[in-house]
A and B are shown apart, each in its own frame.
Chain A
């Protein structure tokens, strides 16, 4: 059974204090890994797609990396506006298209 696990569940950072979030998966034949950001009371917002081990993507203070077993979302010198829940997801391996399995998310709070 495909599984996606995110850690930690919650992370409290001081402004400027860099850290990393983890997303580990047990799917075989990974066909991509996706990161989303979700603000309170809103729908998730797509951030990145990673397709193969060694790939990296960056957007402002966020950098996502992928290995064969896990992905990391690095937050460099975070600001309070980076506070959100970050979700990772992988495509189902039991369907040929269209379905994602989401992790439970990491709630990040950045204080001034």
Chain B
């Protein structure tokens, strides 16, 4: 398995609180991604990174911010959690400029009450 971990694996939080999810890789891959997966919507890209301090928005970025200060770590922050952000969050890494061969972490199940 690719060396990619996510923490926490499960979290329950209240509406309005900030939440930070962490993705850590040991593969030294350049590209890192945050997705959310919801029934009926499939995998949707939130934010991605193409290098240290280089990030950009995906298709569902509202309410989320990211930071990448080191190659190995990519943080996703929900600035003020809402119930619509209840989801399973996956981090992925890739060395491909097409982004095709991605390796996914185990996921974080987030519940916002």
Contact = CB atoms under 8 A, between A and B. Distances in A.
A105 B40 CA distance: 10
A107 B88 CA distance: 18
A104 B40 CA distance: 7
Contacts, number: 59
Interface stretch (A21-29, A37-45, A61-69): A37-45
Contact of A43 (B31, B94, B107): B107
Interface string A70-110: 00000000000000000101010000111110111100000
B99 interface: yes
A99 B43 contact: no
Interface in A11-48: 31-32, 34, 41-46
A46 B98 contact: no
Contact of A42 (B40, B43, B100, B106): B106
Decide if the interface of chain A is mainly helix, strand, loop or mixed: loop
B108 to A, nearest CB: 10
Given A97-B50, A99-B45, A46 B103 contact: yes
B107 A91 contact: no
A44 B44 CA distance: 13
B8 to A, nearest CB: 15
Contact of B58 (A41, A43, A99): A99
A44 B43 contact: yes
Interface residues on A, range: 20 to 34
Nearest to A44: B104
Contacts of B99: 91, 97-100
Interface string B69-83: 000000000000000
A42 B42 contact: no
Interface of B: 31, 40-45, 48, 50, 58, 90, 92, 94, 96-107
Given A42-B107, A104-B40, 12 more contacts: A43-B92, A43-B105, A46-B102, A87-B42, A91-B99, A97-B97, A98-B31, A98-B98, A100-B100, A102-B42, A103-B42, A104-B41
26 contacts: A32-B100, A34-B100, A41-B107, A42-B106, A43-B105, A43-B106, A44-B102, A45-B104, A49-B100, A87-B42, A87-B43, A89-B100, A91-B98, A91-B99, A97-B97, A97-B99, A98-B31, A98-B48, A98-B96, A98-B97, A98-B98, A98-B99, A100-B100, A100-B102, A103-B42, A104-B40
